[in-house]
Amino acid sequence: MKTVTLFGLLLALILNPGCKRSNLNEAKVRLKDGVVQGTVEEGVAVFRGIPFAAPPTGDLRWKAPQPVVPWEGVLEAVRFAPSPVQARAEWMGEIEMSEDCLYLNVWTPARSKGEKLPVMVWIYGGGFSNGSTAGTSGMNMAANGVILVSVAYRLGALGFMAHPELSAESPNSVSGNYGLLDQIAGLKWVQQNIEEFGGDPTRVTIFGESAGAISVSMLCASPLAKGLFSGAISQSGGSFSPVSDSRGMGEYMASLKGAEQQGITFAERMGAKGISELRTIPYDRWLDDPLSQMGGFWPNADGYVIAGDQYKLYSIGKYNDVNVIIGTNSDEGSMFVQPMEPEQYAGMIKGRFGPFADRALELYPGNDQTEVYHSLSDIFEATAFAWPSWTWARLQSETGSSRVYVYYFDQFRPEPFFPGGPVPRGAAHAMEIAYVFGTVGQNPGMQATEEEKALSDIMIRYWTNFAKTGDPNGGGLPEWPVYRNGEKTVMYLKGAEPVTTELPDADRLQFMEEYFKWLREWRKSEQ
């Protein structure tokens, strides 16, 4: 009887090739939902366009991501899926986009399922209104012994619009954070499937830049993401400003009620009487609407996906306490601001900073147009990137038990952002991405210097070391100490030999801390 059973099993395997185990040498993997076929490129198995959730279309527009419908046969995973629906931007050119966008990509150097390699999950930026996985290559990460996964998420109105009717539909009485729920669904997919690619689900590091870094910050504070990752890297982003329905520079996250009101306004502008009608309107109707542009729609503090004011949560140690790398670039703000006359600038400062205006003008002077432009860019940098990042590092180092590492990226070229545009004074926003992924110098006319190549190699090794052990150090790299408040513990990333330095602009960061503390209390008293 035992012999017959074994024979039957062997015969079934021969006659039913769908039962075969994953073969990473041939980039063929059996997932819980079906078989995917990728390609082998330079010894790395690459899978592009794997669905991790059902298409969020039709009745699923503005709903939490739903499970993938299993498929028969072999799914060809050889091309990037269309980008999520997003605002039109001249710098992007023509892109293929679709509401059917919930796909991810995998680069794995593993040759067998049992290798248990660390995993890095990339979350793109773009102000929650733009972005795509298509511009990311995991080849250099894979070459350093990790699996790279890039996850798409819904953007703009489709990803972050809240509305009272949508909240009423939800079993949790919330709406608007669909893009974050997409990210969480992608991380759950990793937990369920990454072993088939030779990955270790207990060693997952999430990392992102700008809105991707803000997303990482939110995931680190979200109870829905608990246990889905063991480390996090934030490149220029965090969510620690007070929740506000009236947005100021660096303040974008509204309350659920405020976000719902924005949704009502949006539906009215689209001529829709309600959500049922809005679900039937083609998305291209709103791509040029002001709310579809950068920063128009944003995650909201719904008390479910985002449990509350992150500053308060971190102050009491209520977050997912994992090892983190947190950092910013030296000129984050220049590309986001426009010139302004000194008189107009002084008025803006008084309106923005209230009783802190005089001190703000001391730290950010505006005696002529050039000085105004530089101060505006520095204020934007501080409020949107530097202060949230430093606050994250400071609070977690005080209330957490995991390791915190902080960097300051200052490698740049004195070339304008665009023809005739401003010249950066340091490393512009997003400039470090090419160094992290090893693609610096690949754009036409931008050949990398030997120094830039060396820095890129160092950063790739720091990032992948962190994914492997929770510590960026090792392999003869310059020692990167754990961040401690008040000490020279910031890694200064520039040139071929990074060094440890003091926290840059500490006086400005302390000013922003005092200002935001006052603003949080003032708004509380006004409610």
What percent of the chain shows pLDDT beyond 70?
Answer: 91
Residue 383 has pLDDT above 70, yes or no: yes
Domain with 459 in it: 2-153+183-241+317-526
pLDDT higher than threshold 90 for residue 140: yes
Banded pLDDT at 22 (limits 50, 70, 90)? confident
Residue 38 main-chain phi, psi, to 5 deg: -105, -150
526 pLDDT higher than 70:
no
- Give SS3 for 511: helix
Mean of pLDDT values over 274-293: 92
Environment class of 316 (CB within 10 Å of its CB; exposed 0-12, middle 13-18, buried 19+): exposed
- Give, in order, the Cα–Cα distances in Å from 385 to each of 290, 330, 415, 429: 23, 10, 22, 9
In this prediction the pTM is 0.94
Q: What pLDDT sits at residue 295?
A: 79
Q: Is the pLDDT of residue 445 over 90?
A: no
Rounded average pLDDT over 463-471? 98
Cα angle, residue 208 at apex, residues 479 and 483 outer, rounded to 5°? 30
Between residues 421 and 28, the one the model is more confident about: 28
State the Cα angle at 339 between 337 and 345, rounded to 5°.
95
Q: Is 232 contained in some domain?
A: yes
Q: What is the pLDDT of residue 408?
A: 98
**pLDDT over 60 (residue 7):** no
pLDDT at 88 > cutoff 70: yes
Q: Is residue 286 part of a domain?
A: no
Q: Tell me, what amino acid is at 131? A: G
399 token code pair? 């209330």
219 within 8 A of 184, measured Cβ to Cβ: yes
What are the Cα distances from residue 115, in Å, to 30, 201, 276? 16, 12, 49
Q: In whole angstroms, what is the distance from residue 375 CA to residue 118 CA?
A: 42
Query: CA-to-CA distance for 217 and 207, rounded, in angstroms?
Result: 10
Q: CA–CA separation, 146 vs 135, rounded Å?
A: 19
Q: State how many domains the chain has.
A: 1
Q: Give the count of beta carbons closer than 10 Å to the beta carbon of residue 104.
A: 26
pLDDT for 423 equals 73
**Active-site amino acid positions:** 210, 332, 429
Instruction: Report the CATH number at residue 368.
Output: 3.40.50.1820
Q: For 285-327, write each residue's pLDDT tens digit.
A: 999 888 888 878 999 999 999 999 999 999 999 999 999 999 9
CA 241, 243, 248, 253 torsion-angle sign: positive
Tell me, yes or no, whether 293 lies in a domain: no
Give the helix/strand (H/E) hosting 40: strand 39-41
Over residues 499-520, mean pLDDT? 95
| Mean of pLDDT values over 212-230 | 98
Has residue 284 been placed in a domain?
Answer: no
On whether the CB atoms of residues 136 and 122 are closer than 8 A, the answer is: yes
- Please report whether residue 297 resides in a domain: no
Band (31; pLDDT cuts 50, 70, 90): very high
Classify residue 425 by burial, with Cβ atoms within 10 Å: 0-12, 13-18, 19+: middle
Sheet of strand 35-37, all strands in order from the earlier edge strand to the far edge? 28-30, 35-37, 74-76
Say which residue, 227 or 444, is predicted with more confidence: 227
- Specify the pLDDT at position 120: 98
Give 11's pLDDT tier (boundaries 50, 70, 90).
very low
Q: Average model confidence (pLDDT) for the chain?
A: 92
Please give the residue that has the higher pLDDT: either 188 or 447: 188
The pLDDT score that the predictor gives to residue 2 is 38
Whether the predicted pLDDT of 30 surpasses 70: yes
Position 67 in a domain: yes
